[in-house]
Amino acid sequence: MEIKVVVVLCGILVSLMPLCLAEDVQVKVEGVTSIAQTDENFVCATLDWWPSNKCDYNQCPWGKAGILNLDLNNKILSNAMKAFNPLRIRIGGSIQDLVVYNVGKAVKKCPHFKKKKNGLFGFSKGCLKMKRWDELNELFNKTGVKLTFGLNALFGKKPSKQDLHGLWVDDWNPQNARDLMEYTISKGYKIDSYELGNELCADGVSARLESQQYAKDFLKLKDTVEALYPDATTRPKVLGPAGFYGKDWFNSFLQYTGPGAVDGLTHHIYNLGAGVDKTLINKVQDPYFLDQIAQTYQDISKTIKEFGPWSGAWVGEAGGAYNSGGKDVSHTFANGFWYLDQLGMTSTFNHKVFCRQAFIGGNYGLLNTTSFIPNPDYYGALLWHRLMGKKVLKINHDGSPFLRVYSHCSKKGPGVTLLIINMSNSTSFEVSVTNDMNLYPEGISSTQLTEDSSSQQREEYHLTPKDGDIQSDMLLLNGTPLKLTESLDIPEMKPNVVDSSSPIKVAADSIVFANLRNFKAPACA
């Protein structure tokens, strides 16, 4: 009985952590120079076109979360966007290359998406009416969204009769896209970037384009954007190819487009496999599995360095598990092990933006598809956005591979912020942070040095699941459930303020952001 009591208390009381399996870990931050740099608005989320009858594995998890039927007047939706101040949103997805825009003379009909046996992804063409475009932009303007809009790259094209493996041929017709841009400009709507096509590169998914043809189409888009937006200081960026990485295809695309053409090289990540995979819950907790995708990030970085140094790498869409995510994992606390680890990992490989699929919709939405209540990853994304600055610092530790640590210059104010992820369900860690500069006597960490070291304080945000259940969609911040306010606002997220000379206590199955304001890092000066 006594042993059982101790085990229970270990699971719920931080004060009794020494009774649990605990390890001391030394984390060394190399703060002299940064190793990479993200965009100021690194965190991004997608809105997708899927209609309510998008179904996988005998479930239809999109409901009314698609761009054409989402309730844009929902107060939680607008408050959740507004909280980022600003939030980067990417409109796009599998069926964006079926969407026509009901403006100008290039389009005669404005159809609804319908199931179509031989259609791309099983659907027929759909249409964006300008009334809906107005409503979307009203929401984005009100909430301060930075918008990336994915254009239909198959307009004017047709399937190849010679190639039966999804190849589409002929030149892209930019007229419908141009008409949409002209309308957008006339209304004063702000666009951060345009992206051409979705998952048409390399082997494609439902359709594909040769790299030289896509490059030709891309340059046509670039010319259109430059003609319609003559002021280079406010001109939207142009992004592509928005698909899965293939070395030869990406390399040749950058070579064909030439210097300065591609502002953002976008690629997609679904490294957890199918949403129906029963081992999904194990994958998100397995650091060895999660490390496998690092090769892709490294390869993308190498491609840019060799063939497009004027560009920047973006993860343009990442849902973890494809086909709308896993219904018992992708909206839960456990998914944060994958998601926040990916944010940390991609930033070390000099990625500028990471777009999470999806802001709402499917099983992987940051917001619940029907109630709009934020899922745990929403709060993880928001904390990253508020705390982690652009400059990425190299970090080393001597602990378990189940302990992941990432370090950035703090977003606001001096010092550094650490993201600490403990994927172990049995071991807690006491993390001491040191500086690699070796400017001070042995045994004195840089986090302790000011004129009055006793006044040193550290801000900590400990994220844990309700009742210790990692498949819960209720998140606790420093032991308190995060719930919307009575006015449906995002709750205030206050840190625990602790003595910075003490180690950071990281519970099993937890995620911690720690803001070390007095850490001496020249790279952050």
- Alpha carbon distance 207, 205 (integer Å): 6
108: which residues sit within 8 A by CB, 6+ positions away?
none
Catalytic: 199? yes
Calpha distance 364→337 (Å, rounded): 14
Distance separating alpha carbons of residues 282 and 332, to the nearest angstrom: 13
The catalytic residue among 195, 210, 317, 460 is: 317
Q: In the chain, what are the helix, strand and coil shares in percent, each to the nearest 5?
A: 30, 25, 45
Cα separation, 132 vs 149, in Å, equals 14
- Rounded distance, CA 41 to CA 146, Å? 9
Tell me, rounded to whole angstroms, the distance of Cα 437 from its chain centroid. Answer: 32
Task: Output phi, psi for 182, to 5 deg.
Answer: -65, -40
Cα distance between residue 253 and residue 417, in whole Å: 37
3 vs 17: CA distance, rounded Å: 15
**Cβ distance 29 to 521 under 8 Å?**
yes
2 given a catalytic annotation: no
Specify whether the CB–CB gap between 201 and 241 falls below 8 A. Answer: yes
List beta partners, residue 200.
none
Q: Cβ distance 467 to 499 under 8 Å?
A: no
Residue of 199, 210, 459, 460 marked active site: 199
Q: Which residues are catalytic?
A: 199, 317
